[in-house]
Structure 1
Amino acid sequence: MKKKIKSILVALLLSQFYVGEAQEITTPKAHFGFDIGEDYMLANYRQMEGYFLKVAKESDRVLIKEAGTTEEGRQQYLMIISSPDNLKNIEKYRSISQRLGRAEGLAEEQARALSVEGKPIVWIDGGMHSNEMVGSHQLIETFYQLVSRRDPEVQNYLDKVVVLMWHVNPDGQDLLADWYMQYPEKEKRNMSIPRLYQKYVGHDNNRDFFMFNMKEASNLAKVMYVDWLPQIVYNHHQTSPDGTVVAGPPYRDPFNHVFDPLLVTGIDGVGFAMINRLNEEGKPGYVRMDQSGFSTWWNGGLRTAPYFHNMIGILTEITGSPTPSEIPLVAERQVPRNGLPFPVAPQKWNFRKSIDYSVSLNLAILDYAARNGDKLLYNFYKMGKNAIDKGNTDTWTKYPKYIQHIEKAYAADIEAGKIKAIQNNSYYRAKIIPTDYYEAVFTDKSFRDPRGYILPADQEDFGTAVKFVNALIKSGVYVYQASADFSVNGKNYPKGSIIVRTNQAFRPQVLDMFEPQDHPHDVEYPGGPPVRPYDAAGWTLALQMGVKYDRILDDFDGPFRKQEYGVLIEPLQREVPRSKVGYLINGKANDAFIAVNRLLQSGVNVFRDLDTKDFFVEARESTKIADFGRQLGLTISAAGKKPARLQALQPLKIGLFDYYGGSMPSGWTRWILEQYGFNYELFYPKDIDEDRLKKYDILVFVGPGIPPHGVQRTRGQVEEHLVPPQYRHMLGAVTVEKSIPALKRFVEQGGRILTVGASSDLVYHLGFPVENPLTEEGRDGKRVNIPSTKYYVPTSILRAEVDPAKAENYGLDSELNIVFNNSPVFRFQPSDNLYSLGTIPSDKPLLSGWAHGQHYLNGVSIGLVGMLGKGKVIAIGPEVTNRGQSHATFKMVFNQLYK
């Protein structure tokens, strides 16, 4: 009885502490007018911003710092939460994290001492995908609990951990919450917004974290990879697989070959802490490993990009919505298994339950960090030190291609009778191969990882190379720039060339951006269907951007100046010589299109030299082009005489297709066009059907937009009565019955249509004599798609060949790196009215990623031009605008946008 009374008194005392503190800190309900997690209720970003700023003034546990603006101009903040004593010394702890993460010049004894002295840094974010409202609202609730609670648990976390909190997408939060809350009748509230919830890229805002095209991604990169270097990054998402509550770590294979093993086991450690806490609290439904479907292969997401910086990245996908939902019955997920040890019963599900789960998962991570802070900090250093050491020595990454080399060599020697197969009679019956086959590969110096890369300053599109390097710099990679001419391995390089060494802590990021990805052949069973990668299979940025670089296998030196961390490189300043005739702007440089469009928009006549493919401007315009050499780093030469064959350029009136809800490929194209100075307007399905296309010279369809061949219409529609009148012009669908004839008339009357990716099926609807080469004869004698067991190319990079003499290909090299995602390709008999833009000339075109059955692509056309009446259709199969990354192929779009 005495023990019971004592426990009650302790509980009451703790309750008094909690309530007393909570009265000093504004509660979410007092600020928002409802409890976080209340059904049918959402907060917008304006309200969240006001709450965070208000509480930061009320609490000594919070520092809040402005961290850049979004694409729509909203302010992003970094919220730093810890004990008052820690916050007084926050620069010390930030510096320790930086020093350990970069691992430069630190002896092990120093690192161990700093690991004890420092505080682990844990990143918790929310709001990435705005229709996933659990993520943004758990941020509010977690923030409140950390700044208001005074119980020993939270106090312990605050004493031992520094928490960074971040709202990823403020613009989308305002858009979605305002849209949802506009309906007075709760049951009618919905998230069927008319446009993307990030200005340009919507859901793809989580595909931008090695390129950093969007302002939000650049803001995050500076905080995460330059200023703070957290050890754990927790990225909240939804939704979970059917019949579960939340999917989380550990994740399934494959993991990327460049990772340090400490990273992989570090993810596992955090994952076990998370599921254990839910189990302790009686919260079932956590699914992991092969049952969740998420791997650690891909780079580019907020959760996955940190892996390449030795940070433990955590993603969870949780169920839940402000509109009440259900956990459905999935019978097979009611049987406990390693991937789902605590199944959840089917049941009604409310928003608050998801918030409670999310807070528990956040606290589980903080608990793990509090208990293992010194280990987290030391292992962070250790991974960085391992990376530096690998970059300073001969190192071989164990890619699948090298293991296949060993297996093939062994099999060939057995078949040739040179050796006999080793018989393994042990329990495991593994295939044992003599050690000398291993040594033949992993002592072969030609297979080594590079010590560094050199990007020559005299490459024709050095401006794009600078953009590539700046993406590396944003991610915390350091680079050098040559202060004078130099030579390495007998090759001369000019001043201004850029050097990227691999002996740095973020070596995995460096390798991943330069070296091809070698995705394993991942199938459900031998001979079975492929297991779809979480996202891309190959993405090597240097290849996507068409950057010219040399891989240097041995150590090298020169007159190299190290660039300060996080400071971007400026384009080379090139002087424009004087001319009495005119000027030639290098047509191989993507940024030349910025110059051309600025000149055209200011009334200057611009021509294309049909011999050199450069752009020509007459001498009287010298004052208008003088800055292009300095601002854009363009090579502009003085013409000795006026070129003999000139073609005047006139900008076309561009219509870019979009639809209600927003197309991400179209959004990326909007962003690209704006970066390079093209004017455009959006048009929608109703504009096609209601004959409103005459004001355009060219229609651009990127990605989905045209019904697939054999399908009668595009995606389904939102109920019109739920859409306010001002957005109803965006509704509708592209149909074979009505829209395709209208598009045909547009071309016949002299218009152009450019299609990229899936929309290139238009060529079949318009009746061009084109075949799909990726089909075979089915059992009934009809053509069917080649099954994925034979042919499958998830997003990867392939080698193609194009004809630079064709106007559509001006400025391209004859060999071209293309991003390919099971993309359309074509086969046809060329004629005067139908010709190819390029082909895949090999049965092994894969450069980076995974291409099962790639021999089917040998000889196919990647793009075509078809004449129809007075106009033409340009159809390009590969993803030539891929997420604003594939700079190598941007000119395949740009060239089509002039008369």
Structure 2
Amino acid sequence: MLSLCLTVSLVSSLVLSANRIYAQEPVQSDGVRSPEDYLRRPVGTDFKLADWPTVSDYYRQLADQSENVLLREVGKTTEGREFLIAVISSKTNLENLDEIKKQTSIVTDPRNRSDEEKQWAINEGKVVLFVTPTMHATEAAATEMGMQFAWQLATSQEEPFRSARENIVVVITPSLNPDGVDHVVQWYREHVFTPFEGTSMTKLYQYYTGHDNNRDWFMLTQAETRHLTGLMYQEWFPQILWDVHQQGNSRERFFVPPYRDPLNPNLDPGIVAGINVLGTRAVMDMQREGLNGIATGVSYDNWWNGGNRSVPARHNTIGILTEAASVKIASPVFQEETVLGDPLGQKKYQPSNSFIQPWPGGWWRLNDIVKYELSFGRSLLASINREPEFWLRNAMEAAERSIASGKAGGPRAWLITIENRDLHAVRRLADILMASGVEVSKADAEFVADGRTYPPGTLIIWRDQPYGNYVKDLFELQKFPEGRAPYDVSGWTIPLLMGVHRVTVNHDFQANVSLLPNSGASTTEFPGDKRLADPSASNALSSLDSSSWTKLVNSLQAGTEHRFVVKGANAGLILPGAKPEEDTLPIRSVPRIGVYAPWTGSMDEGWLRWVLDEFEIPFQTLRNETIRAGRLEDLVDVIIIPDVTKVQLNHGRKPEPSPPQFSEGLEPEGAIALERFVRQGGRVIAFDDASNWMIDLLQLPLVDVTEEKSAKEFSCPGSVLRSVFEEHPFTAGLPPDIAVYFAKSTAWRVKNKEELKDVELKPETVTTLLKYAPTRVLYSGYIAKEEIIHDQMAWAVCPYGEGDVHLFGFRPHYRAWSQATFSLLFRSIFFTADKK
């Protein structure tokens, strides 16, 4: 009882203190309801969160009540909720949005514009600022901060808001992840004031990606990503984007740019300087308001591509990331100064040029985050207000430099040649480029480039366009600078990962071209797999074209059996009919597939689901309790285990406090059930850490070479590597080598005689299907001590009892980037030796 009384007392005092912080905020302005009045509590109140219906309804009211706000539904989210934007500016500006958009389009693309038109766009135009709260739904403060920021911007007669309405058009997404807002709020409400308060959810807060939704900004797989991309590069062409986030709470209270090194050379210097100026000015403004614990130049680099602030920077848009120290969703935390770490990694928590005034410790609450974010927002508006023409001119000059760089020095263009056989991958590549505002052309006639002749239909992406640097960054091989090793992604060369052959042209050339009207027109003159034109291959499918796998599934479901050709001139073709032939593998039906999903919310499991759904391959989800119940052969033929750690596989959510129905892992009953499933004829496909777990479970004669003592200095946190195939029916028809994505991944060798003492399975029964290349393994990114994985296993299959196990040392579906290796996943699902 005493504990309960203390808890109630503490909660009451916390809520009251939160109320006092906002006591001086007006609740109405010119009849426009404030968020505080609407919510009937202060914004950022401890233990309280607004769900998506509440948030979206507030923005509707704001638009109804204020002449300075327009609300628009852009489309639907992944789960079908409304994806909204609020456009906030003066009434006059909102009445002239078409003209403002024309001006920003000239700023973004000044080609073929007169000096008078360009000057008009700068002098008369308005800066467009995008604000994107709550991409990561557990970083919950920004949702209500956005409501407060929108209301102040729409109604306040104070500066900087009053001038901002005249100088700026602000486009706010109430949330970049409305689905996640609802999921997180529901979970938090169910468990607040229980032992599970503030714990992580049991599923991803974005249906397929979870936190990885901030890794989708060049591949554009998710509905939300595509909505914002279309707004930015097809309609509004903003000069500045502010991406609002939270981070861990063990160090600084708030991060603002400048970012730390290294700096990607494809970023325009004016854009980088603009990022630095706005961030540095914000530090000064926030310090003057009494906010401390702000750090710059730590944690977040300016190298990698793929995030919501990094992709805009390659589109000549200033991309600003802020990161506030988190609370436990909406529950406050108390932290002594002695437990805080220095942002620069120094032994002592102390001031530095990057961390000028450390936070002294104490209570840290949701409304503290709101307060810091609002302060940054005011500083950002004030900086734009002081010289709006400067920011427009800065963006135009960046575009002009990008265009000029395509005419002198560096690549002139990139070609997608018609001999590419994965037509689905070519169309997907053209689609993501065009959706991102890149012009893709098609040759109308034969032409010569760098001494080689190319036929009509060849795709040409010219460098001398406003987003030419963006294409360069996607298409070139990344070479991570020497010095400190990267902690995450260091390479991402998209054509390699997608299996699309591209040619870099380094010298001027002439070609008669037409702009592609849509991505579907990109392959109309590509012959694809020429073997399909042979009358003997009637109704055949090419396993080299990704779309064939969807066609195969549909045909199998319609009752047509198939066979896969493993030798000869037609190796790699999938032929209809069940006629047995010596050099074919039968494909009789779609296997019953189960995808393991832990109660920890696995992002790799989510990406796996996306790939299977995208290619219309049916599956069911298997939870821990389903596997522990056994008799898996009654449910599925194939079980796929994504990259999940051994601890999570064995013990589930422990040691984190969790509701008991979600807490357990597979150990021991689930592990035993999986072993029995394989022994009795089932197939398990595992990736990365899960592969090592399966090796331990089945006592397979393999060793992860990246974990041996000799591999102490090995490092490859996120790079594109070269791998080579071994001759085998499962790899028939594939090219000699292929690019794979290695992200802290694994490689194996067979155990030696001494190590085989306690292993029943003979090493000669392990079949290697793919190895990391014996030399020149790095395509793009960074690797240290690469010889550790030279010529080591990347994909292997091991028989076990009546079944088998496919082990991938990497993730063939990695973030849906690595389309070239999707087919390896599909082959491991569909291909099997005929046991008749």
TM-score by length of 1: 0.82
Aligned counterpart in structure 2 of residue 223 of structure 1, from 226, 231, 235: 231
Answer whether contact 2:719 2:743 (CA < 8 A) is retained: yes
Q: What are the within-5 Å matches in structure 2 for residues 443-482 of structure 1?
A: 449-482=410-443
Partner of 1:676: 615
Answer whether contact 2:177 2:206 (CA < 8 A) is retained: yes
> In 2, distance between residues paired with 1:177 and 1:705?
27
Question: Does the residue aligned with 2:111 lie in a helix, a strand or coil?
Answer: coil
> In 2, distance between residues paired with 1:73 and 1:585?
34
Partner of 2:749: 827
Is residue 148 of structure 2 the alignment partner of residue 210 of structure 1?
no
Instruction: Using the TM superposition, name which of 335-344 and 766-775 deviates more.
Output: 766-775
Q: What are the within-5 Å matches in structure 2 for residues 35-114 of structure 1?
A: 35-106=42-113, 110-114=117-121
Closer, same or farther: CA 120–547 of 1 in aligned 2, 3 Å? same
Partner of 2:311: 305
Is residue 299 of structure 2 the alignment partner of residue 368 of structure 1?
no
**What residue identity is the alignment partner of 1:479?**
V
Cα deviation, 1:742-783, whole Å, max 9, x if unaligned, reads 32221111111111122110223321121232355xxxxxxx
Is residue 206 of structure 2 the alignment partner of residue 198 of structure 1?
yes
CA-CA distance at 1:112 after TM superposition: 3.9
Is residue 279 of structure 2 the alignment partner of residue 271 of structure 1?
yes
Closer, same or farther: CA 216–261 of 1 in aligned 2, 3 Å? same
Closer, same or farther: CA 296–569 of 1 in aligned 2, 3 Å? farther
**What residue identity is the alignment partner of 1:462?**
L
Closer, same or farther: CA 775–71 of 1 in aligned 2, 3 Å? closer
Answer whether contact 2:777 2:786 (CA < 8 A) is retained: yes
Question: Does the residue aligned with 2:794 lie in a helix, a strand or coil?
Answer: strand
CA-CA distance at 1:498 after TM superposition: 1.3
Answer whether contact 1:334 1:345 (CA < 8 A) is retained: no
Question: Does the residue aligned with 1:309 lie in a helix, a strand or coil?
Answer: coil
> In 1, distance between residues paired with 2:370 and 2:638?
48
CA-CA distance at 1:554 after TM superposition: 1.4
Answer whether contact 1:770 1:828 (CA < 8 A) is retained: yes
Closer, same or farther: CA 240–750 of 1 in aligned 2, 3 Å? closer
> In 1, distance between residues paired with 2:729 and 2:415?
32
Closer, same or farther: CA 705–18 of 1 in aligned 2, 3 Å? closer
Aligned counterpart in structure 2 of residue 818 of structure 1, from 730, 740, 743: 740
Is residue 233 of structure 2 the alignment partner of residue 294 of structure 1?
no
Cα deviation, 1:815-840, whole Å, max 9, x if unaligned, reads 11011123110112795521111222
Is residue 704 of structure 2 the alignment partner of residue 743 of structure 1?
no
RMSD over aligned CA atoms reads 2.7
**What residue identity is the alignment partner of 1:503?**
D
Q: What are the within-5 Å matches in structure 2 for residues 551-566 of structure 1?
A: 551-563=504-516
Question: Does the residue aligned with 1:250 lie in a helix, a strand or coil?
Answer: coil
Partner of 2:544: 588
**What residue identity is the alignment partner of 2:626?**
D
Answer whether contact 1:582 1:642 (CA < 8 A) is retained: no
Answer whether contact 2:442 2:522 (CA < 8 A) is retained: no
Aligned counterpart in structure 2 of residue 504 of structure 1, from 465, 471, 477: 465
Closer, same or farther: CA 808–644 of 1 in aligned 2, 3 Å? closer
CA-CA distance at 1:326 after TM superposition: 2.6
> In 2, distance between residues paired with 1:592 and 1:328?
59
Is residue 743 of structure 2 the alignment partner of residue 809 of structure 1?
no
Instruction: Using the TM superposition, name which of 747-756 and 317-326 deviates more.
Output: 317-326
Partner of 1:116: 123
Is residue 524 of structure 2 the alignment partner of residue 572 of structure 1?
yes
Partner of 1:254: 262
Closer, same or farther: CA 656–187 of 1 in aligned 2, 3 Å? closer
**What residue identity is the alignment partner of 1:130?**
A
CA-CA distance at 1:844 after TM superposition: 2.9
Gaps of 5+ in 1: 1-16, 396-448, 524-529, 622-640, 777-783
Question: Does the residue aligned with 1:238 lie in a helix, a strand or coil?
Answer: strand
CA-CA distance at 1:378 after TM superposition: 0.7
Aligned counterpart in structure 2 of residue 700 of structure 1, from 640, 647, 668: 640
**What residue identity is the alignment partner of 1:688?**
I
Closer, same or farther: CA 574–342 of 1 in aligned 2, 3 Å? closer
**What residue identity is the alignment partner of 2:180?**
G
Partner of 1:648: 586
> In 2, distance between residues paired with 1:819 and 1:572?
30
**What residue identity is the alignment partner of 2:586?**
A
CA-CA distance at 1:73 after TM superposition: 0.9
> In 2, distance between residues paired with 1:745 and 1:137?
51
Is residue 811 of structure 2 the alignment partner of residue 886 of structure 1?
no
Is residue 756 of structure 2 the alignment partner of residue 756 of structure 1?
no
> In 1, distance between residues paired with 2:478 and 2:114?
33
Partner of 1:431: none
CA-CA distance at 1:791 after TM superposition: 1.5
Answer whether contact 1:454 1:498 (CA < 8 A) is retained: yes
Sequence identity (%): 25
Is residue 339 of structure 2 the alignment partner of residue 339 of structure 1?
no
> In 1, distance between residues paired with 2:818 and 2:561?
29
TM-score by length of 2: 0.88
**What residue identity is the alignment partner of 1:841?**
A
Question: Does the residue aligned with 1:274 lie in a helix, a strand or coil?
Answer: helix
**What residue identity is the alignment partner of 1:696?**
V
Number of corresponding residues: 779
Partner of 1:314: 320
Partner of 1:443: none
Answer whether contact 1:796 1:821 (CA < 8 A) is retained: yes
Aligned counterpart in structure 1 of residue 571 of structure 2, from 600, 610, 613: 613
Partner of 2:664: 732
CA-CA distance at 1:70 after TM superposition: 0.9
**What residue identity is the alignment partner of 2:683?**
R
Question: Does the residue aligned with 1:337 lie in a helix, a strand or coil?
Answer: coil
Aligned counterpart in structure 2 of residue 844 of structure 1, from 773, 776, 782: 776
Cα deviation, 1:362-415, whole Å, max 9, x if unaligned, reads 11111111112111111111111111111011x2xxxxxxxxxxxxxxxxxxxx
Closer, same or farther: CA 580–563 of 1 in aligned 2, 3 Å? closer
Closer, same or farther: CA 580–266 of 1 in aligned 2, 3 Å? closer
**What residue identity is the alignment partner of 1:374?**
E
Aligned counterpart in structure 2 of residue 662 of structure 1, from 578, 587, 601: 601
Answer whether contact 1:754 1:874 (CA < 8 A) is retained: yes
**What residue identity is the alignment partner of 1:837?**
L
Answer whether contact 2:721 2:778 (CA < 8 A) is retained: yes
CA-CA distance at 1:557 after TM superposition: 2.7
> In 1, distance between residues paired with 2:218 and 2:153?
31
**What residue identity is the alignment partner of 2:549?**
F
Answer whether contact 2:653 2:663 (CA < 8 A) is retained: no
Is residue 702 of structure 2 the alignment partner of residue 770 of structure 1?
yes
Is residue 491 of structure 2 the alignment partner of residue 538 of structure 1?
yes
Closer, same or farther: CA 152–488 of 1 in aligned 2, 3 Å? closer
CA-CA distance at 1:802 after TM superposition: 0.7
Cα deviation, 1:132-153, whole Å, max 9, x if unaligned, reads 1012121111111111212243
Answer whether contact 1:798 1:845 (CA < 8 A) is retained: yes
> In 1, distance between residues paired with 2:823 and 2:251?
47
Gaps of 5+ in 2: 1-23, 343-347, 752-761
Closer, same or farther: CA 802–184 of 1 in aligned 2, 3 Å? closer
**What residue identity is the alignment partner of 1:796?**
S
CA-CA distance at 1:23 after TM superposition: 4.9
Partner of 1:687: 626
CA-CA distance at 1:860 after TM superposition: 1.2
Question: Does the residue aligned with 1:53 lie in a helix, a strand or coil?
Answer: helix
> In 1, distance between residues paired with 2:26 and 2:680?
74
Q: What are the within-5 Å matches in structure 2 for residues 150-165 of structure 1?
A: 150-165=157-172
CA-CA distance at 1:794 after TM superposition: 1.3
Answer whether contact 1:655 1:683 (CA < 8 A) is retained: yes
Closer, same or farther: CA 491–80 of 1 in aligned 2, 3 Å? same
> In 2, distance between residues paired with 1:702 and 1:350?
36
Closer, same or farther: CA 851–817 of 1 in aligned 2, 3 Å? same
Closer, same or farther: CA 758–32 of 1 in aligned 2, 3 Å? same
